[in-house]
Amino acid sequence: MKIKTIKQHIDEKNEDFDIRVNDFIKDKQVVQITTNDVISTGNFYMHTLTILYKEGE
């Protein structure tokens, strides 16, 4: 198994982020997707997905 963490760019639309994620997983066997949202002390917001997957067969 492998993992991939994908960060949403600060000015990236949700739809564009979804396209990047879907393009990545289209040929993978996804086991789990975990989300993480962080707001730093400077009010910087970061959204990431960590994908646990197996290579496509």
pLDDT tens digit at each of 57 positions of the chain? 999 999 998 889 999 999 999 999 999 999 999 999 988 777 888 899 999 999 866
Q: State residue 46's pLDDT score.
A: 85
Q: State residue 45's pLDDT score.
A: 83
Helices (H), the chain: 14-25
Q: State residue 2's pLDDT score.
A: 96
pTM check: above 0.85: no
Residues 6+ apart with CB under 8 A from 27: 55, 56
Q: State residue 20's pLDDT score.
A: 96
Q: State residue 57's pLDDT score.
A: 62
